[in-house]
Structure 1
Amino acid sequence: MSISILVVMLLLTAEACFAEIPLWTPFYSTNTVQAWYDASDLDTITEVGGFVSQWDDKTTNGYNLLQSGDLRPMFLATNQNGNGVIRFDGTNDTMAAATITPIVQPWEVYFMLKNLSNSSKPRLLTGAGVTLYQFVNTGGGKPTLNAGSGFAFASALTPGEGHFLRFTANGASSIGNKDYVEYGPGDAGTNSISEIRVGGTAASSVIDLDMYECVIIQGIMSDDDRRRMEGYLAWKWGFEDKLPVDHDYKSAPPYYYAPATVVIVE
């Protein structure tokens, strides 16, 4: 009678024993990343004299953000926690992807950004003519999600301070998260994301904004991956102090541990 021996191949080579465990990134999520803009990745930024004409999407979808002339935002190197940022001047700077395949619900959008004032109403994502994200003048710079009846956050973003934002629309309700506090629900409507635009509309509603990172996810992330995303963004951009005291990644950033290879030998 054969005896089955379960062998867990934790290490395949001597070199693997000392391989560095990588930090977790959105690409390790079990969800599909539809678009990802990362100002810390210099390979994704095309700039001349500090003015950015192209900010590449890190996914294979190629939803690159474009601009020309005096509408280009500025690239500031090592501006936040040693990382570069894209600064929109609040006068006329905007960037937008030429065309995208509409991203249908359910979806989630994660931002790490700093608004430099509360004076304007930028539209970062739009769908079927309906604003999916904006700062609202009447609310004193509160971010809001308008898909169906949507919702607004209870408090404004503090000017000059970095903020984490998450917006979720699942076809039934919409939920927001500002600095790890949830708001909502509201009516999600059925809007797809049909435009990706940063800084405001082409002719109006622009804002002075430092954009650090934006990740658009297809579907709803698991609780584990959502906490990893929060930890990843907080530690990368130097805002780990904003994480709740009981957060999984309050004391260290998330790492990616590849599943162990299991071999059954008979």
Structure 2
Amino acid sequence: MRLGLGLGLALPQSGTRPFKPTSIPNIALWLDAADASTIAQVSGSVNQWNDKSGNGYNAMQPTGAKQMVSGSNTINGLNVLYANAKNMILPAGLYSYFGPSQPWTMFIVKQDLIAQGASQFFYLGSNGLSNINEASGVLSNKRGNSDHGGQLAITQDLLPHIVGGISRANNFLYAIRDGVIGSFYAEPTAGTQTQMYIGSYNSATSAAVVVNYAEILLYAQEFNNGNGGPDFDAVNSYLKTKWGIS
């Protein structure tokens, strides 16, 4: 029996549509290593990782010796970018999102591959003092010259995690991991950024990281005033399911 043909009938759909990060407003950046169409590489060495947000903020690395590797490692059966003292440079158009009193929330799916006392995997600014990092059992979201930043006590291990940070318009900083939000820290000294890296800071070999990078999302908003909320939970649920994070 044929239904709904030429009768103007809308048949119900079973199930629900899969979540997409772009369904949440104010998405600024979406890098997804599982999507091979977004990765430009030569023999596995990645020179460009294209932004799926629609904003065109593609991450690039023209220097061969600093390029991450695609096609060698996976998380939950999905491709990731392997970085061993490598980095990707984000474009200047993103700098304004991290300026003074600018709200943002960042999610980074990554996996440490060796025990690292200090793992600094996202850098802002020309001096590398603004970053999201792990050290001595603490995840920090730092900005400016602060030695503190928003912090969250964690167990450092070799499992994949969703890490990142929230910055509120009042310059309160929070660190986040796997949906847990740490305590805030007021950082009034935030300045305009001049450089931005995924991975090791460009000139600091002592801060080299050995990491798999899976997916990165940046939103130009502070979810529920830094307290999480439905959109925050939706992003975490999507990333946990996709990358097999418990």
Which of the five TM-score ranges fits, normalised by the shorter chain? 0.7 to 0.9
Q: Which amino acid is the alignment partner of residue 185 of structure 1? A: F
Residues 1:66 and 2:65 aligned together: no
Q: Distance in 2 between matches of 1:113 and 1:183?
A: 18
Q: 1:13 to 1:156 in 2, by over 3 A?
A: farther
Q: Which amino acid is the alignment partner of residue 28 of structure 2? A: Q
Q: Distance in 1 between matches of 2:165 and 2:203?
A: 25
Moved runs in structure 1, 4+ residues, more than 6 A?
none
Aligned residues between the structures: 223
Aligned 8 A contact 2:27 2:219 in 1: yes
Q: 1:52 to 1:60 in 2, by over 3 A?
A: same
Q: Tell me by how many angstroms 1:174 deviates.
A: 1.3
1:232 aligns with 238
1:209 aligns with 211
Describe the superposition over 1:136-194 as per-residue Cα deviations: whole angstroms up to 9, x where unpaired. 5xx33633111254133323421x21111231111331112223332111114344565
Q: Distance in 2 between matches of 1:22 and 1:177?
A: 27
5+ long unaligned stretches in structure 1:
1-11, 243-266
Q: Superposition RMSD on alpha carbons, in Å?
A: 2.6
1:100 aligns with 93
Which one of 97, 110, 113 corresponds to residue 113 of structure 1?
Answer: 110
- Percent sequence identity is 21
SS in structure 2 of the partner of residue 40 of structure 1: coil
5+ long unaligned stretches in structure 2:
1-6
Q: Which amino acid is the alignment partner of residue 229 of structure 1? A: V
Describe the superposition over 1:243-265 as per-residue Cα deviations: whole angstroms up to 9, x where unpaired. xxxxxxxxxxxxxxxxxxxxxxx
Q: 1:196 to 1:130 in 2, by over 3 A?
A: closer
Which has more radius of gyration? 1
TM-score by length of 1: 0.74
Aligned 8 A contact 2:49 2:60 in 1: yes
Aligned 8 A contact 1:120 1:141 in 2: no
2:42 aligns with 48
